[in-house]
Chains A and B, each alone.
Chain A
């Protein structure tokens, strides 16, 4: 099954569960969540709003394209606003194996494309409250998944699954996911820090069915320890529009939207 990882949209995926009954294990639930059919490519306009504890906010509007290449996923993003970073573009290739992501950035002010690299999947993405991992780069077997209970939340029947990292040094001691039984779309996720204290809460605000695929179009991550919030909204979403493979090159980065 092809996977499509959305750097921004989230990993939590819908699987039309064919009566997959109560015998599902925690691992199976998360597997179905991570690996849900999501089309081969997607385009959208992403609005990311960062709100700090003083209530100040930064709003960024980005046009983004994603395409699944089988063993890898490519994504290209063009900044539309604020004005001083307009046409700055960012490209990310992430691989299904353990290879680190390749990343490039194009800075129009110097008309140069530069490779950047980030050490870890635990890095926060663009000053947001999402890490690359949170956005969907997490591998299924990096955690041990345990089904805790089933409960109804926000009107949805959910599985509640606890995910504990196999790596002691991982930034979260555990996460807890609420996943809709009928669609395997997430509703909520809690992240606990190394000391076991609640660090962040992800809330899925709105899910839309686009071209037959469930897409999370509005979500909010709140870091309760820092009182910092990131809101992500997708508009103008299109799935399977045959985005050409040639879109994901350094040349295209320089050309702009």
Chain B
């Protein structure tokens, strides 16, 4: 290996040009084939049982997420102007290519089931917009009298009315959204305000906003890293080459993705993040070594210097890269494809970065020349100690006050464990947005006036027993459950099912008397009501709440929040009815995007925790093999475990929920933590060979590796702090947490790991026994 690398030095130009050519090929590939995947549904593992059932149920009942268009008039909506806007917008939305005409619901399209003197009538609320005061008043009364509509399509304070347009999973595009906003804006007047919300918009915007923001921020991150790198390396050439390694490895990773036809998912935007954080490390350590060598041998020829660098550094560079790559490959255990891809391509990028560090970087030095030597005071006798006074005293005091480190670590571990208890998982999309953003504000506005912008569908399944949901006992239970959930939970704004139809019909068929607003006792009567509805209403409406054979029921719960706590609180109450339904042979299942989001997040986290544990074990083994000592493997794992613990602990204390992005950060903790530990260990090992004094070894390691680690940490922390200025909150959290992880990794390596190395006498014990 070493020989090969040294041989390659003779062909610097060739390796440089080969790498550039391949890079150009990958850039070409990215231009040709790169495709962004914004449809969140494509992220889901569709063969998972929960998803299989949900997808089926969505097709049975035509369950889709709706775009909500709210028309607000502070003076009230029962006037000709507002109703006219409502009608026009409803018709306009029915005309969108992306929207099925029948999937648009508003007061204009809704059925009004009313009791008449001698029967029942199902008719539209209005076809022509009422013009006279009298007719407007009539409409107002009929709306107020229909609880299936009032509070659902019209706010109870009568200042807002909504149009709901359900769309398929894959139709949302930014252009479509813009068109909707344009249509909405065009209808606004002095009195009438239009708000657009709904899960498709939240999802679609998020899938686009995150990567778009990343695209904007990454160049700034690179610039800052460039500057800080330049300050620490004090070499323009070195900075350029180090960044080249990061930059090219990112291009290769994305280029390969494009070449094999894998689309860019939202999580893929984390790949450059990982590669920047990890790739810079190799460059810094290599340069750091080179600098030390030149400082000591100012007259050395560049070939000699580079050869020395390769000789000492190839092993730790390979070790760190392999362990990191293995850590990412452990993500293959995830059930979620984008996460698998993320693992594979990041691992690929890490390996590419390794090759670049060992080939491209030396080739660069051969072509562009060495950095300048720094003057050091050679006369001073250090008795083998390092030349850095700071490193010496720092290492000495860490070792002297070793119990401080141990105690502090213990305290931190305990605190982190406490913090971790508070950690919660959030599958909310909405909460990824700025609190004062339009999208959150509109959502809040609609939630204040209506049942809620999010929904969970409960699917009751009588397992093939036909007509089960005409049974009054069963419908009564459904009705009871709905009322129970609605009254128990603040967050549930509305519930809707077949029971609401039956209640309403029973009431209007009995002279509108409130005491008949309930499920009747006779199964035949229920069947006859349903037939009656089919004859006079739009039977399509029933297809959304019950299947053809009356053996599957869809109960919709509208929630005012899409976060996991809210959804789970609803599920908890619903699940208390599980045994009651079981008595009738009915099973409980869930469907809809909110529920799928919840399951999906759980899957990601489950996979994440699995792969975290797995990669820890693999890395521990790898390091034990590399350094031929389990003890060292354990010591090297300490900073990693600490970093992960602190990261989760702080998230718990700061109430940052685990989400898809924040969960993936544990990979970074491992990737970076292991780099620091291996470089430090390797150096310590080398220094231990040359001295009998543990303190001297520690101090030399601190001066050399320690310095590189600090530089590395400073560079990446500075770079990622830039993300704190992102407009997209998840990216801000990412920036903060990466910086935090870098910081804990480096502090952990330089303190507690050093202490452990010192106390455990590794390398020195062996020597004594020799």
Contacts and interface: CB of A to CB of B under 8 A. Distances in A.
A107 B121 CA distance: 15
Contacts of B59: 54
A57 B548 contact: yes
Contacts of A119: 122-124
A249 interface: no
A112 B526 CA distance: 14
B123 A117 contact: yes
B121 A117 contact: yes
Contacts of B542: 127
Contacts of A108: 524, 528
Interface in B7-50: none
Nearest to B60: A54
Nearest to A86: B524
A114 B118 contact: yes
18 contacts: A52-B543, A54-B548, A84-B527, A85-B527, A85-B528, A85-B531, A88-B531, A90-B535, A107-B525, A108-B524, A109-B522, A109-B524, A110-B528, A114-B119, A115-B119, A116-B121, A118-B536, A195-B95
Which 3 residue pairs of A and B lie closest in terms of their CB atoms, listed nearest first?
A114-B119, A84-B527, A109-B525
Contacts of B523: 84
Contacts of B528: 84-85, 88, 107-110
Nearest to A51: B548
B116 interface: yes
Nearest to A52: B548
A118 to B, nearest CB: 5
Contacts, number: 93
A194 B95 CA distance: 10
Main secondary structure of the interface of B (DSSP, over half): helix
Contacts of A54: 59-60, 547-548
Contacts of A193: 101
A196 interface: no
Contacts of A110: 509, 525, 528
Interface of B: 59-60, 95, 101, 116, 118-124, 467, 470, 509, 522-529, 531-532, 534-536, 538-540, 542-543, 547-549
A40 B116 CA distance: 34
Interface of A: 50, 52, 54, 56-58, 79, 82, 84-85, 88, 90, 103-105, 107-110, 112, 114-119, 123-127, 193-195
B532 A105 contact: yes
Determine which residue in B101, B116, B528 has the highest number of CB atoms from chain A within 10 A of its CB, and name it. Answer: B528
A126 B540 CA distance: 11
A112 B534 CA distance: 18
B548 A123 contact: no
B84 to A, nearest CB: 16
Nearest to B94: A194
Given A57-B548, A103-B536, A118-B122, 20 more contacts: A52-B548, A56-B549, A82-B527, A84-B523, A85-B527, A85-B528, A103-B535, A107-B525, A109-B527, A114-B532, A116-B122, A116-B536, A123-B536, A123-B538, A124-B538, A124-B540, A125-B535, A126-B534, A127-B539, A127-B542
Given A52-B543, A84-B470, A194-B101, A116 B527 contact: no
B548 A116 contact: no
A125 B528 CA distance: 16
Contact of A124 (B522, B529, B532, B539): B539
Contacts of A109: 522, 524-525, 527-528
A249 B467 CA distance: 32
Nearest to B523: A84
A109 B522 CA distance: 7
Nearest to A116: B536
Contacts of B539: 124, 126-127
A91 B96 CA distance: 40
A127 B534 contact: yes
A58 to B, nearest CB: 6
A125 B535 CA distance: 6
Contacts of B525: 107, 109-110
A206 B620 CA distance: 79
Nearest to B528: A107
A126 B509 contact: no
A104 to B, nearest CB: 8
A57 B547 CA distance: 10
B548 A56 contact: yes
Given A54-B60, A84-B527, A85-B527, A115 B123 contact: no
B549 to A, nearest CB: 6
A124 B102 CA distance: 14
A158 to B, nearest CB: 31
A84 B467 contact: yes
Contact of B535 (A57, A126, A194, A195): A126
A127 B542 CA distance: 10
Contacts of A195: 95, 101
B526 to A, nearest CB: 8
B55 to A, nearest CB: 13
A107 B522 CA distance: 12
A85 B538 contact: no
B116 A115 contact: yes
A167 B174 CA distance: 37
A84 B550 CA distance: 13
A197 to B, nearest CB: 10
A115 B467 CA distance: 27
Contacts of A57: 548
